[in-house]
Amino acid sequence: MNTSIELPKRDQVIARDLAGPAKAGLVIGVLALAATALFGLGYGDGMRHFGHSMLVALLFFLAITIGALFFTVLHHLTSAGWSVVVRRVAEAITGAFPVLFLVALGVLVIPVIMGSSYIYDWASHDFVYGGGDFPGSELIQAKGGYFGSLFFGARICFYFLVWVGLSRFFAGQSLAQDDDQDPSRTLKMQHRSGVSMVLFALVTTFAAFDMSMSLNAEWFSTMYGVYFFAGCFWSFLATLALATMWLEKRGNLKGVVSIEHYHDIGKLLFAFTFFWSYVSFSQFMLYWYADIPEETHWFHYRMWGEWTNFTLLLAAGHFLIPMLGLMSRHVKRRRGVFAAWCIYCLVFQFIDLYWNVMPEMVNGVGMGDPATTGPAFGMIDITAMVSVAGLFLFGFLNKLNGKPALAIGDPRLPESLAFQNV
């Protein structure tokens, strides 16, 4: 084979001077969080808009981080070769789990345990069992055992415990391998990747149920977990490409990552564009066909009323346009064009989560009808995104700072460096 591959030197790939940007992310995140809270107070709706905007932002960046963990575990599970050069970027992104855990604690867990139903209707005793303005909901009462505030908090903590644990194991082994070049670490990670993947799948599915699907606790969908996951990996791949391009520009991955690697990321991005469509349509079609009111109502106020155009936008923008746009190999093999499509995908991942979460803001305890209210996008949604984005960048860059941006000790690095698409 071609023997002319030069392994990059350790000094060339170390990502230095990231403490500044990380700190900036933290400061911007905290400031934007304060701004979001002020905007939320201005609405005078018991912080309901604040809660839902923060939930969209949290889910958006959590999805990217979950996708990064999946990519890392999948790399070892399939004993992949080509992706070694970008795996460190994914491992660094999983460093955002702890800071996102803090956001989840503050926005979701602690308010629910303190008895607030500003996000989750099931946390309101009156809403579930009747009282005040509410007739009560037998459907939620039947699930009463699952929807307890302490149990909910314990579950969220458990999910993050698993995510943080898995990401620390894989990133830790990978970093240790940088120093000792020990191939047995790769085997160790491969051996543990199977059970990690099972654990990951269960935790991610139930996290999607608890954090997003339970916004309308009467509704249920067994496909919701995989639907959320499809968005996770989709948005992660877009983020991975953008982050890699940025590190390449900084010089940390210069001459290491080639257009071949972007081409492969692009292929996965294209595939998962379709996977998302496949899953979301499957979820929709089963309910459409059975036509049972307690199952269709979730779609009904999204499809008929003020959300109709938004739903059509999602179907066209999350499926049709990127599928046609990402189909050509020339798109995936041009950095600039591909970067534009990655940004496009991230925008529509936001729109997807917004579509999932925001109709529930006025529903239920919100005492309104989503079909007649429609989207109410405002500054608060932007500041919420900026806030979690800052905190996410802090977690990501802090993890990467001072470490090689490349898994320099991986025994399959030469294979990845020499990788070419046929």
CA distances from 248 to 6, 23, 240, 253, 356 (A): 17, 21, 12, 4, 35
CA distances from 91 to 70, 109, 281 (A): 10, 26, 31
Considering the rule CB under 8 A, would residue 151 count as an interface residue with other proteins? no
Q: Binding string to other proteins for residues 92 to 131, with x set by CB under 8 A, is what?
A: ----------------------------------------
Residue 240 CB, nearest approach to other proteins (Å): 23
Calculate ∠ Cα 393-394-400, nearest 5°: 85
Residue 316 CB, nearest approach to other proteins (Å): 14
Tell me which residues in 403-422 interact with other proteins (CB under 8 A): 420-422
What is the chain's length? 422
Count of residues of this chain found to bind other proteins when the rule CB under 8 A is applied: 12
Closer to other proteins by Cβ: residue 151 or 281: 281
Closer to other proteins by Cβ: residue 15 or 314: 314
| CA atoms within a 13 Å half-sphere pointing along the CA-CB vector of 206 | 19
Closer to other proteins by Cβ: residue 147 or 419: 419
Residue 259 CB, nearest approach to other proteins (Å): 13
Residue 327 CB, nearest approach to other proteins (Å): 8
Give dist(CA 242, CA 246) in Å, integer.
6
Closer to other proteins by Cβ: residue 200 or 275: 275
Closer to other proteins by Cβ: residue 198 or 316: 316
Considering the rule CB under 8 A, would residue 270 count as an interface residue with other proteins? no
Residue 51 CB, nearest approach to other proteins (Å): 33
| CA atoms within a 13 Å half-sphere pointing along the CA-CB vector of 400 | 34
Distance of CA 313 to the CA centre of its chain: 21
CA distances from 335 to 162, 263, 330, 348 (A): 35, 9, 10, 20
Residue 44 CB, nearest approach to other proteins (Å): 40
Residue 260 CB, nearest approach to other proteins (Å): 9
Tell me which residues in 338-397 interact with other proteins (CB under 8 A): none
Supply φ then ψ for residue 136, to 5 degrees. Answer: 90, 160
Considering the rule CB under 8 A, would residue 5 count as an interface residue with other proteins? no
Tell me which residues in 323-342 interact with other proteins (CB under 8 A): 327
DSSP 253-288: STTTS-HHHHHHHHHHHHHHHHHHHHHHHHHHHHHH
Query: Facing residues of 404 across strands?
Result: 14
Q: Binding string to other proteins for residues 278 to 297, with x set by CB under 8 A, is what?
A: ---x--xx--xx-x------
Closer to other proteins by Cβ: residue 78 or 420: 420
Closer to other proteins by Cβ: residue 48 or 318: 318
Give dist(CA 96, CA 167) in Å, integer.
10
Give dist(CA 79, CA 74) in Å, integer.
8
Structural contact between residues 373 and 306, judged by C-beta atoms closer than 8 angstroms: yes
Give dist(CA 413, CA 123) in Å, integer.
50
Give dist(CA 273, CA 52) in Å, integer.
26
Closer to other proteins by Cβ: residue 141 or 282: 282
| CA atoms within a 13 Å half-sphere pointing along the CA-CB vector of 274 | 10
Residue span binding other proteins (CB under 8 A) among the ranges 15-23, 151-159, 185-193, 277-285:
277-285
Closer to other proteins by Cβ: residue 9 or 289: 289
Residue 237 CB, nearest approach to other proteins (Å): 21
Closer to other proteins by Cβ: residue 190 or 296: 296
Tell me which residues in 152-191 interact with other proteins (CB under 8 A): none
Binding-site ranges for other proteins (CB under 8 A): 1-2, 281, 284-285, 288-289, 291, 327, 420-422
